[in-house]
Structure 1
Protein backbone atom coordinates (compact mmCIF):
# COMPACT_ATOMS: atom_id res chain seq x y z
CA UNK A 1 0.00 0.00 0.00
CA UNK A 2 1.34 3.46 -0.88
CA UNK A 3 2.19 5.82 1.95
CA UNK A 4 -0.71 8.11 0.95
CA UNK A 5 -3.00 5.14 1.41
CA UNK A 6 -1.62 4.62 4.90
CA UNK A 7 -2.19 8.29 5.82
CA UNK A 8 -5.75 8.35 4.48
CA UNK A 9 -6.55 4.99 6.06
CA UNK A 10 -5.33 6.16 9.44
CA UNK A 11 -7.24 9.47 9.14
CA UNK A 12 -10.42 7.62 8.16
CA UNK A 13 -10.10 5.48 11.29
CA UNK A 14 -9.39 8.53 13.46
CA UNK A 15 -12.46 10.24 12.03
CA UNK A 16 -14.66 7.25 12.97
CA UNK A 17 -13.22 7.17 16.49
CA UNK A 18 -13.60 10.94 16.89
CA UNK A 19 -17.26 10.83 15.89
CA UNK A 20 -17.98 8.21 18.56
CA UNK A 21 -15.95 9.67 21.42
CA UNK A 22 -14.41 13.10 21.46
CA UNK A 23 -13.67 15.44 24.35
CA UNK A 24 -16.48 17.85 25.24
CA UNK A 25 -16.20 21.24 23.51
CA UNK A 26 -13.67 20.08 20.93
CA UNK A 27 -14.38 20.00 17.19
CA UNK A 28 -12.39 18.19 14.49
CA UNK A 29 -13.69 17.88 10.94
CA UNK A 30 -11.97 17.28 7.63
CA UNK A 31 -12.11 20.29 5.32
CA UNK A 32 -14.80 20.31 2.66
CA UNK A 33 -13.71 20.99 -0.91
CA UNK A 34 -15.74 23.26 -3.24
CA UNK A 35 -17.31 20.19 -4.90
CA UNK A 36 -18.60 19.02 -1.50
CA UNK A 37 -16.09 16.18 -1.12
CA UNK A 38 -13.99 15.75 1.99
CA UNK A 39 -10.25 16.47 2.21
CA UNK A 40 -8.91 14.13 4.88
CA UNK A 41 -5.50 15.82 4.75
CA UNK A 42 -6.73 19.14 6.23
CA UNK A 43 -8.80 19.27 9.42
CA UNK A 44 -10.61 22.28 10.82
CA UNK A 45 -10.61 22.02 14.60
CA UNK A 46 -11.70 23.96 17.65
CA UNK A 47 -9.89 23.72 21.00
CA UNK A 48 -11.78 25.11 24.00
CA UNK A 49 -9.96 27.00 26.72
CA UNK A 50 -9.90 25.07 30.01
CA UNK A 51 -12.30 26.11 32.74
CA UNK A 52 -10.70 28.08 35.53
CA UNK A 53 -7.95 29.50 33.28
CA UNK A 54 -7.56 32.82 31.48
CA UNK A 55 -8.36 30.88 28.29
CA UNK A 56 -11.81 29.86 29.57
CA UNK A 57 -14.70 30.84 27.30
CA UNK A 58 -12.53 30.86 24.18
CA UNK A 59 -13.01 28.32 21.40
CA UNK A 60 -9.80 28.56 19.43
CA UNK A 61 -9.58 27.56 15.76
CA UNK A 62 -6.73 25.23 14.86
CA UNK A 63 -6.03 23.76 11.43
CA UNK A 64 -4.20 20.44 11.17
CA UNK A 65 -2.35 19.77 7.90
CA UNK A 66 -1.41 16.14 7.32
CA UNK A 67 1.04 14.92 4.69
CA UNK A 68 1.17 11.64 2.80
CA UNK A 69 3.86 10.61 5.35
CA UNK A 70 1.40 10.62 8.26
CA UNK A 71 1.54 8.91 10.76
CA UNK A 72 5.30 8.57 10.33
CA UNK A 73 5.48 12.38 10.40
CA UNK A 74 3.30 14.66 12.55
CA UNK A 75 0.81 17.14 11.13
CA UNK A 76 1.49 20.84 11.26
CA UNK A 77 -0.93 22.64 13.54
CA UNK A 78 -1.85 26.28 13.07
CA UNK A 79 -3.78 28.88 15.00
CA UNK A 80 -4.79 32.08 13.17
CA UNK A 81 -1.89 34.43 12.35
CA UNK A 82 -0.73 36.67 15.23
CA UNK A 83 -2.29 34.37 17.86
CA UNK A 84 -0.87 35.47 21.22
CA UNK A 85 0.94 32.58 22.90
CA UNK A 86 4.53 31.93 23.96
CA UNK A 87 4.73 28.74 21.87
CA UNK A 88 2.86 29.88 18.75
CA UNK A 89 4.79 31.61 15.95
CA UNK A 90 3.38 34.77 14.36
CA UNK A 91 2.47 32.53 11.39
CA UNK A 92 0.18 30.55 13.72
CA UNK A 93 2.37 27.44 13.74
CA UNK A 94 2.30 25.61 17.06
CA UNK A 95 5.57 24.69 18.77
CA UNK A 96 4.81 21.58 20.85
CA UNK A 97 7.13 18.68 21.64
CA UNK A 98 4.67 15.98 20.53
CA UNK A 99 4.61 17.66 17.09
CA UNK A 100 8.40 17.63 16.88
CA UNK A 101 11.13 15.59 18.53
CA UNK A 102 8.69 13.69 20.77
CA UNK A 103 6.44 12.64 17.85
CA UNK A 104 5.41 8.97 17.73
CA UNK A 105 3.15 7.49 15.04
CA UNK A 106 0.88 6.19 17.80
CA UNK A 107 -0.10 9.75 18.82
CA UNK A 108 -3.70 10.42 17.82
CA UNK A 109 -5.51 13.55 16.73
CA UNK A 110 -7.32 13.51 20.08
CA UNK A 111 -3.97 13.52 21.93
CA UNK A 112 -2.69 16.36 19.72
CA UNK A 113 -5.72 18.56 20.40
CA UNK A 114 -5.69 17.85 24.14
CA UNK A 115 -1.94 18.60 24.12
CA UNK A 116 -2.63 21.93 22.43
CA UNK A 117 -5.34 22.72 24.99
CA UNK A 118 -2.91 21.94 27.80
CA UNK A 119 -0.21 24.09 26.16
CA UNK A 120 -2.53 27.13 26.15
CA UNK A 121 -2.37 27.58 29.92
CA UNK A 122 0.99 25.85 30.41
CA UNK A 123 3.36 27.48 27.94
CA UNK A 124 6.98 26.43 27.74
CA UNK A 125 9.07 29.61 28.07
CA UNK A 126 12.21 27.53 27.41
CA UNK A 127 11.02 27.15 23.80
CA UNK A 128 9.60 30.56 22.85
CA UNK A 129 8.17 31.04 19.37
CA UNK A 130 6.96 34.62 19.68
CA UNK A 131 8.82 37.60 21.13
CA UNK A 132 5.79 39.65 22.24
CA UNK A 133 4.10 36.79 24.11
CA UNK A 134 7.42 35.65 25.62
CA UNK A 135 8.30 39.16 26.82
CA UNK A 136 4.87 39.70 28.36
CA UNK A 137 4.86 36.22 29.95
CA UNK A 138 8.31 36.64 31.51
CA UNK A 139 8.25 40.37 32.34
CA UNK A 140 4.60 41.43 32.76
CA UNK A 141 2.36 38.50 33.68
CA UNK A 142 -0.62 40.75 34.50
CA UNK A 143 -0.59 42.22 30.99
CA UNK A 144 -0.09 38.77 29.45
CA UNK A 145 -3.11 37.40 31.33
CA UNK A 146 -5.20 40.44 30.37
CA UNK A 147 -4.39 39.95 26.68
CA UNK A 148 -5.13 36.23 26.89
CA UNK A 149 -8.59 36.99 28.34
CA UNK A 150 -9.20 39.56 25.58
CA UNK A 151 -8.15 36.99 22.98
CA UNK A 152 -10.53 34.41 24.48
CA UNK A 153 -13.41 36.86 24.01
CA UNK A 154 -12.53 37.12 20.29
CA UNK A 155 -13.20 33.40 19.87
CA UNK A 156 -16.59 32.71 21.45
CA UNK A 157 -18.48 29.45 21.11
CA UNK A 158 -20.32 29.05 17.81
CA UNK A 159 -23.19 27.14 19.47
Structure 2
Protein backbone atom coordinates (compact mmCIF):
# COMPACT_ATOMS: atom_id res chain seq x y z
CA UNK A 1 0.00 0.00 0.00
CA UNK A 2 1.46 3.34 -1.07
CA UNK A 3 0.40 6.17 1.22
CA UNK A 4 1.66 9.76 1.32
CA UNK A 5 3.82 8.92 4.36
CA UNK A 6 5.40 5.92 2.61
CA UNK A 7 6.03 7.92 -0.56
CA UNK A 8 7.70 10.66 1.47
CA UNK A 9 9.86 8.12 3.31
CA UNK A 10 11.00 6.65 0.00
CA UNK A 11 11.92 10.17 -1.13
CA UNK A 12 13.77 10.78 2.15
CA UNK A 13 15.65 7.51 1.69
CA UNK A 14 16.67 8.34 -1.89
CA UNK A 15 17.91 11.76 -0.80
CA UNK A 16 19.86 10.25 2.08
CA UNK A 17 21.52 7.77 -0.28
CA UNK A 18 22.29 10.32 -3.00
CA UNK A 19 23.55 13.13 -0.78
CA UNK A 20 24.26 11.85 2.73
CA UNK A 21 25.21 14.49 5.30
CA UNK A 22 28.58 13.93 6.94
CA UNK A 23 28.49 11.60 9.90
CA UNK A 24 25.01 10.16 9.58
CA UNK A 25 23.44 7.16 7.93
CA UNK A 26 19.99 5.62 7.95
CA UNK A 27 17.80 3.13 6.14
CA UNK A 28 14.40 1.52 6.54
CA UNK A 29 14.03 -2.09 7.62
CA UNK A 30 13.79 -4.45 4.64
CA UNK A 31 10.16 -5.30 5.33
CA UNK A 32 8.91 -2.07 6.94
CA UNK A 33 9.58 1.40 5.55
CA UNK A 34 7.95 2.88 8.65
CA UNK A 35 10.78 1.61 10.89
CA UNK A 36 14.35 2.79 10.31
CA UNK A 37 17.75 2.04 11.77
CA UNK A 38 20.24 4.87 11.81
CA UNK A 39 23.73 5.65 13.02
CA UNK A 40 25.33 8.91 14.02
CA UNK A 41 29.06 9.36 14.15
CA UNK A 42 30.36 11.12 17.22
CA UNK A 43 31.63 14.54 16.13
CA UNK A 44 35.43 14.76 15.94
CA UNK A 45 37.36 16.32 18.80
CA UNK A 46 34.45 16.00 21.25
CA UNK A 47 33.79 13.56 24.09
CA UNK A 48 31.41 11.79 21.64
CA UNK A 49 34.25 11.02 19.26
CA UNK A 50 34.72 7.30 19.55
CA UNK A 51 31.43 5.39 19.95
CA UNK A 52 30.99 1.75 18.99
CA UNK A 53 33.83 0.53 16.79
CA UNK A 54 32.95 -0.76 13.35
CA UNK A 55 35.93 -1.90 11.31
CA UNK A 56 35.95 -2.01 7.53
CA UNK A 57 39.07 -3.59 6.06
CA UNK A 58 40.19 -1.54 3.08
CA UNK A 59 43.11 -3.75 2.16
CA UNK A 60 45.40 -6.27 3.80
CA UNK A 61 47.19 -3.49 5.71
CA UNK A 62 44.57 -0.78 6.25
CA UNK A 63 41.50 -0.72 8.42
CA UNK A 64 39.02 2.13 8.76
CA UNK A 65 37.45 2.31 12.20
CA UNK A 66 34.14 4.13 12.41
CA UNK A 67 32.57 5.06 15.71
CA UNK A 68 28.81 5.23 15.74
CA UNK A 69 25.76 5.58 17.96
CA UNK A 70 22.72 3.55 16.95
CA UNK A 71 19.16 4.88 16.77
CA UNK A 72 15.73 3.77 15.64
CA UNK A 73 13.11 5.95 14.01
CA UNK A 74 9.46 4.85 14.08
CA UNK A 75 7.19 6.71 11.68
CA UNK A 76 3.39 6.84 11.63
CA UNK A 77 1.05 7.34 8.69
CA UNK A 78 0.73 11.04 9.61
CA UNK A 79 4.39 11.64 8.63
CA UNK A 80 5.54 14.23 7.54
CA UNK A 81 2.82 16.13 9.40
CA UNK A 82 3.83 14.40 12.66
CA UNK A 83 7.41 13.61 13.74
CA UNK A 84 8.78 10.11 14.15
CA UNK A 85 9.57 8.58 17.52
CA UNK A 86 13.35 8.51 17.71
CA UNK A 87 15.36 6.56 20.29
CA UNK A 88 19.00 5.81 20.82
CA UNK A 89 19.69 2.09 20.98
CA UNK A 90 23.22 2.84 22.16
CA UNK A 91 23.54 3.72 25.83
CA UNK A 92 23.95 7.48 26.24
CA UNK A 93 24.81 9.99 28.97
CA UNK A 94 23.45 13.32 27.81
CA UNK A 95 21.27 16.08 29.31
CA UNK A 96 18.61 15.67 26.61
CA UNK A 97 18.47 11.88 26.34
CA UNK A 98 16.27 9.81 28.66
CA UNK A 99 17.39 6.49 30.12
CA UNK A 100 15.22 4.63 27.56
CA UNK A 101 17.01 6.42 24.68
CA UNK A 102 14.20 8.88 23.94
CA UNK A 103 15.39 12.31 22.89
CA UNK A 104 14.21 15.67 24.19
CA UNK A 105 14.64 17.84 21.10
CA UNK A 106 12.34 20.67 20.04
CA UNK A 107 12.05 19.58 16.40
CA UNK A 108 10.80 16.17 17.54
CA UNK A 109 8.15 17.81 19.68
CA UNK A 110 6.64 21.29 19.63
CA UNK A 111 8.85 22.72 16.84
CA UNK A 112 8.18 19.94 14.31
CA UNK A 113 7.61 20.97 10.70
CA UNK A 114 6.87 18.84 7.62
CA UNK A 115 9.91 20.40 5.94
CA UNK A 116 12.17 18.24 8.15
CA UNK A 117 13.26 15.02 6.52
CA UNK A 118 15.23 12.08 7.93
CA UNK A 119 18.56 13.74 7.13
CA UNK A 120 17.54 16.92 8.97
CA UNK A 121 16.36 14.91 11.98
CA UNK A 122 19.61 12.94 12.24
CA UNK A 123 21.77 16.02 11.65
CA UNK A 124 19.91 17.86 14.43
CA UNK A 125 20.45 14.96 16.81
CA UNK A 126 24.14 14.83 15.95
CA UNK A 127 24.40 18.58 16.70
CA UNK A 128 22.58 18.05 19.99
CA UNK A 129 25.35 15.74 21.17
CA UNK A 130 27.79 18.66 21.35
CA UNK A 131 25.29 21.41 22.06
CA UNK A 132 22.91 20.13 24.75
CA UNK A 133 20.18 22.17 26.37
CA UNK A 134 20.64 21.69 30.13
CA UNK A 135 17.57 23.89 30.76
CA UNK A 136 15.32 21.17 29.33
CA UNK A 137 16.82 18.06 30.91
CA UNK A 138 15.81 14.50 30.23
CA UNK A 139 18.74 13.34 32.37
CA UNK A 140 19.04 15.66 35.38
CA UNK A 141 22.42 14.27 36.47
CA UNK A 142 23.93 14.84 33.02
CA UNK A 143 22.43 18.34 32.90
CA UNK A 144 23.83 19.20 36.34
CA UNK A 145 27.31 17.93 35.44
CA UNK A 146 27.23 19.70 32.08
CA UNK A 147 26.41 23.00 33.82
CA UNK A 148 28.59 22.62 36.93
CA UNK A 149 31.56 20.45 35.94
CA UNK A 150 32.34 20.05 32.24
CA UNK A 151 35.42 17.97 33.09
CA UNK A 152 33.34 15.39 35.01
CA UNK A 153 30.59 15.49 32.37
CA UNK A 154 33.12 14.81 29.60
CA UNK A 155 34.64 11.97 31.64
CA UNK A 156 31.22 10.33 32.04
CA UNK A 157 30.53 10.70 28.31
CA UNK A 158 33.91 9.16 27.45
CA UNK A 159 33.16 6.26 29.86
CA UNK A 160 29.89 5.55 28.05
CA UNK A 161 31.65 5.80 24.68
CA UNK A 162 34.34 3.36 25.77
CA UNK A 163 31.74 0.94 27.18
CA UNK A 164 30.03 0.93 23.78
CA UNK A 165 33.16 -0.64 22.29
CA UNK A 166 32.53 -3.85 24.22
CA UNK A 167 28.71 -3.81 24.16
CA UNK A 168 26.77 -6.16 21.90
TM over 0.5: yes
Contact 1:81 1:90 survives alignment (8 Å): no
TM-score by length of 2: 0.82
Structure 2 CA distance for partners of 1:77 and 1:112, relative to 1, 3 Å: same
Could you tell me which runs of 5 or more consecutive residues in structure 1 were left unpaired when the two chains were aligned.
Answer: 33-37
Find 2:95's aligned residue among 86, 89, 102. Answer: 86
Report how many residues are paired: 149
Contact 1:42 1:65 survives alignment (8 Å): yes
| Cα drift, residue 152 of structure 1 | 2.3
How do 1:12-31 residues align onto structure 2 when only pairs under 5 Å count?
Answer: 12-31=10-29
Mapped to 1, the partners of 2:115 and 2:69 lie a distance apart of 25
| Cα drift, residue 154 of structure 1 | 3.5
Partner of 1:40: 33
| Cα drift, residue 153 of structure 1 | 2.7
Contact 2:98 2:138 survives alignment (8 Å): yes
Could you tell me which runs of 5 or more consecutive residues in structure 2 were left unpaired when the two chains were aligned.
Answer: 52-67
Mapped to 1, the partners of 2:160 and 2:113 lie a distance apart of 32
Find 1:105's aligned residue among 107, 114, 139. Answer: 114
Partner of 1:134: 143
TM-score by length of 1: 0.86
Find 2:49's aligned residue among 56, 69, 75. Answer: 56
Mapped to 2, the partners of 1:152 and 1:81 lie a distance apart of 9
Q: Which runs of 4+ in 1 moved over 6 A?
A: none
| Cα drift, residue 145 of structure 1 | 0.2
Higher fraction of strand: 2
Contact 1:10 1:71 survives alignment (8 Å): yes
3-state SS of 1:117 partner: helix
**1:5 aligned onto 2:18:** no
Deviates more, 1:73-82 or 1:61-70: 73-82
| Cα drift, residue 130 of structure 1 | 1.0
